[in-house]
Amino acid sequence: GQQLNQSPQSMFIQEGEDVSMNCTSSSIFNTWLWYKQDPGEGPVLLIALYKAGELTSNGRLTAQFGITRKDSFLNISASIPSDVGIYFCAGRSYGGATNKLIFGTGTLLAVQP
Amino acid sequence: DAGVTQSPTHLIKTRGQHVTLRCSPISGHKSVSWYQQVLGQGPQFIFQYYEKEERGRGNFPDRFSARQFPNYSSELNVNALLLGDSALYLCASSLGQTDGTQYFGPGTRLLVL
């Protein structure tokens, strides 16, 4: 199935470090979403972005909707052990009549105390 | 307020059998989407239902079907199960048909033997 390019594939960091991950698409999106998924559970919505250039924060998390509408990034500042999990980006195509989301390949984050 | 709920949480079936998965959206949400997530990948879009009608379908065979009820809950049915249908099945709810922001349930883990 179709998936977005998400990088890095995995990150192993020390507690307190900042983290950055990004997502790119070959097509234009009108919505970018970032989710965190713990093993065996459903994705939890972290941040939703609706306009090109939009920069939105949620606590230690900051995400931006790229001005080309084809990319987005997520930053996590001062990481803590509970940040461990898989982070997915997801986009909704511009002009679509459905809510279909296309997901990225995921970034596995491990945080060492 | 309750989030998206799904049942059952886990299910074991054998090849050729049929399965029905259930989802209740967040109160007030009228759109339900179904996704399949195989191990190591991001979720893949199967269906979207809004106001009891199918509004979108992903690249899945006709063995997959769904419906939405007047209370906006939904069922996903899979006939003639194959080993490759083993996955986490996720339900996501949103307010409207094209409201990209989707909230996921905990999923149903299906194992086909």
Please give the full DSSP string across B10-52, using - where no structure is assigned.
Answer: EEEE-TT--EEEEEEPPTT--EEEEEEE-TTS--EEEEEEETT
User: B80: helix, coil or strand?
Assistant: coil
Above 90 in pLDDT, residue B2? no
Above 80 in pLDDT, residue B65? yes
| pLDDT (mean) for B8-27 | 97
CA distance B17 to B6: 20
Determine contact, residues B91/B104, Cβ cutoff 8 Å.
yes
| B60 in contact with A, Cβ within 8 Å | no
| Cβ within 8 Å of residue A102, ≥6 positions away | A2, A3, A4, A25, A90, A91, A92, A93, B45
pLDDT of residue A96: 65
Residue position matching structure tokens 């939890």: A44
User: For B46, which residue in chain A has the nearest alpha carbon?
Assistant: A100
CA distance B31 to B73: 9
List for chain A the helix, strand, coil content (%; round to 5).
5, 55, 40
Residue position matching structure tokens 């970018």: A32
pLDDT of residue A99: 83
Q: Is residue B82 very low, low, confident or very high in pLDDT (cuts 50, 70, 90)?
A: very high
pLDDT of residue B98: 80
φ, ψ for residue B84, nearest 5 deg: -70, -5
User: For A101, which residue in chain B has the nearest alpha carbon?
Assistant: B45
Give the pLDDT confidence of A80-104 residue by residue, as tens digits.
999 999 999 999 986 667 889 999 9
Above 80 in pLDDT, residue A79? yes
pLDDT of residue B100: 77
Site from A72, A100, A105 to mutate, B interface, most B CB atoms within 10 angstroms: A100
CA distance B9 to A58: 30
Paired residues of A97 in beta bridges: none
Mean pLDDT of chain A: 94
Question: Least CB-CB distance to A98: which of B55, B59, B92?
Answer: B55
Gyration radius from chain A CA atoms:
14
Closest Cα in chain B, distance from residue A52 (Å):
15
Closest Cα in chain A, distance from residue B42 (Å):
6
